[in-house]
Amino acid sequence: MKKELYTAAIIEKLALEDGQTTLVLGKGDIVTPLARDRARELGLTLVWPEQDDHDLPAWSAAAQTNARSPQQAPTAVASPAPPPAGDDLESKVRQAVANALGKASSDESVPPAGGHRVLHVDGRRVEMEPFPFNIRRPEMDVRLADVITSRDGSPMAAGFMTLHKGQFPWTLNYDEIEFVIEGELHIITDEGVTVGLPGDVIFIPKGSKIQFATPGWAKFLYVTYPADWAG
């Protein structure tokens, strides 16, 4: 069976010109990362075929998605019930510890001591929201998603940002590092233009007055310090 390649342009045609709301994919079909983003932005649901993991390259997005899907997650093992409280000291201590642990796990508003914990973000499932600041560039469709913030006990913040063809001015009152994921990111300053391609890292120091720009499309991960970059 012939494998189909779906690009962002094809997704836009299906959603905008043909009016499709659902695309059923065949086994082995390829959807580029940019096409997946455009499908999500345009409300086009991608229906993936059921595939065994051994049919997929380990590095493929489909294999990674399958590996992280709820139905393939390890079966949760119920915590053993605390022993019945008795008159002996050991039973009372065990019961008190069990109650304390249960309270701590149910109260998500209480951060761990010192904020020392590992936080994992599945970037494939991050939903991008419209940029919350008025940059007067609606044609650029700038989108953003903060994934690590000060609420996570981190002194730094991180998130994803996408933008379409165009440029807009921005002044940074924080330090920022960009890691380009897709497309071509341009950082314009009085000194010139820094061009970032997929895999490139760009550092922008605090106080810089720049233009975020792209000749077509860009998606990048940003890391800021301090975490509360928006004030």
Contact (CB, 8 A) for 141 and 166: no
CA distance 209 to 221: 19
**Would you say residue 79 lies in a domain?**
no
**Would you say residue 231 lies in a domain?**
no
| Angle made by CA atoms 162, 22, 49, in degrees to the nearest 5 | 95
Number of domains in the chain: 2
Furthest-apart CA pair in the chain: how many Å?
77
Residue 110 CB neighbours (<10 A)? 10
pTM to 2 decimal places: 0.55
Helices and strands in the chain: count of H runs, count of E runs:
4, 12
Beta strand spans in the chain (E) = 5-6, 22-24, 30-31, 45-47, 129-130, 143-148, 157-171, 175-183, 185-189, 192-196, 201-204, 209-225
Residues 131 and 55 in one domain: no
Residues 68 and 131 in one domain: no
Residues 218 and 154 in one domain: yes
State residue 30's pLDDT score.
83
Structural domain containing residue 195? 127-225
**Would you say residue 91 lies in a domain?**
no
**What is the CATH classification number for the domain harbouring 216?**
2.60.120.10
The residue among 72, 88, 113 that closes a domain is: 72
Tens digit of pLDDT at every position of the chain (231 positions): 677 888 888 988 898 888 889 988 887 788 888 888 888 888 889 887 765 555 555 545 555 555 555 544 444 444 455 445 445 566 666 666 566 555 444 444 444 444 568 989 988 888 889 998 888 888 999 999 999 999 888 999 999 999 999 999 999 999 999 999 999 999 999 999 999 999 999 999 999 999 999 999 999 999 999 988 766
**Would you say residue 113 lies in a domain?**
no
Residues 220 and 137 in one domain: yes
**Would you say residue 82 lies in a domain?**
no
CA distance 75 to 79: 12
Residues 64 and 139 in one domain: no
State residue 143's pLDDT score.
93
The encoded tokens of residue 11 equal 């997704």
**Would you say residue 77 lies in a domain?**
no
Residues 133 and 66 in one domain: no
